[in-house]
Amino acid sequence: MDRDFRPPGLPEHPLLLEATTFNGMVVVITGASRLNGLGAEMARQFAKAGASGIVTISTQNSAEDGIALSQELLALGAEKTLHITADLKNSHQVAEMAAKIREQFGRVDVIVNNAGINPKEAPFQKLDKKEYLRAFYANTLSAVFVSEELLTLFPKDGGSIINISSTVGVYGNKNQAAYAISKAALIGFTNTMALELQSRNIRVNAVSPGLVSGTEMTANLPDVATEAMRARSPHDLATQEDVAKVVIELAHPQSTITRMNIEVDGGLGSATPLARDEAAKAIFQELRSKARSAAKP
């Protein structure tokens, strides 16, 4: 399967990436609590591209994974790393996080707001109202709080902020109203920040993955559900590396892209709404069946 497809919105010829592309720059990535997660993969790609300082933020107490990831990033070329555990829904903890970054690095060149949750799923009229607030705080306001606190650490020549949204925030999905609203709001926030920070040469973009292979979510999907997605997609499911490479390119210091939302979903977004709905229905039915089987004594 050809992995070189270009998501709409990126230039036809990608910017040259070298081991010194991000030399001297400090990158902050939230949502890096698992070694096999998207946040960790993005950190690895930045280290390979020469980022001097990499700060990974975990919303869970994962000290062992944080230490292991930091050691891996140093081996890949990063000069200095820092792993912080913070509740990004809490503005006071975010302020403390920013103070640590200021003390250790004194600057920030790239922010990747990747932290988020998958709230409970149900038809919107049956969903507990608390789930809407959970999703909005974790998926939207966390990016607001982090960006606001770290904004003063950007140098005069600017930088880049990348918010990780979702294709569900673009197209919607049955039984995911809370998630869809929070991710759609994140895209709106991206557009607004891009306009407001343009004069400071800070570019702001969003990346919206679909189902990504190798993640905890897809690992738990039954084969028939995954095949239903592949059958309706012109490419295979996107990988974490696919997503990370798009993020790297948007953050590239020579990039001029801003106020864009790039979908990385193996092309599923280009399918008809009916095809997307059929794929989602197949996944939902298989997950429901699996849950029922697990609930039987």
| Amino acid identity, position 59 | T
Residue 259, token pair as written in the block: 């106020």
Find residue 93's DSSP bridge partners. Answer: none
What per-residue confidence (pLDDT) applies to 231? 60
Give the SS3 label for residue 221.
coil
Range of lowest pLDDT (99-108, 138-147, 215-224): 215-224
For residue 8, pLDDT over 80 is answered with no
Range of lowest pLDDT (119-123, 143-147, 196-200): 119-123
Euclidean distance between CA atoms 173 and 176, whole angstroms: 6
Euclidean distance between CA atoms 247 and 7, whole angstroms: 12
> Please, which pLDDT band fits residue 212 given cuts at 50, 70 and 90?
confident
Residue 164, token pair as written in the block: 């990780």
What per-residue confidence (pLDDT) applies to 15? 67
Of 23 and 269, more confident:
23
Helix (H) or strand (E) holding 285: helix 273-295
> Please, which pLDDT band fits residue 240 given cuts at 50, 70 and 90?
very high
For residue 95, pLDDT over 90 is answered with yes
Domain locations in the chain as residue ranges: 26-215+236-271
Query: Residue 200 carries which DSSP code?
Result: G
Residue 37, token pair as written in the block: 């997660």
Give the right CATH number for 26-215+236-271 from 3.40.50.720, 1.10.3720.10, 3.40.50.10190, 3.40.640.10: 3.40.50.720
Supply the residues annotated as catalytic.
179
> Would you say 43 and 29 are in contact if contact means Cβ atoms under 8 Å apart?
yes
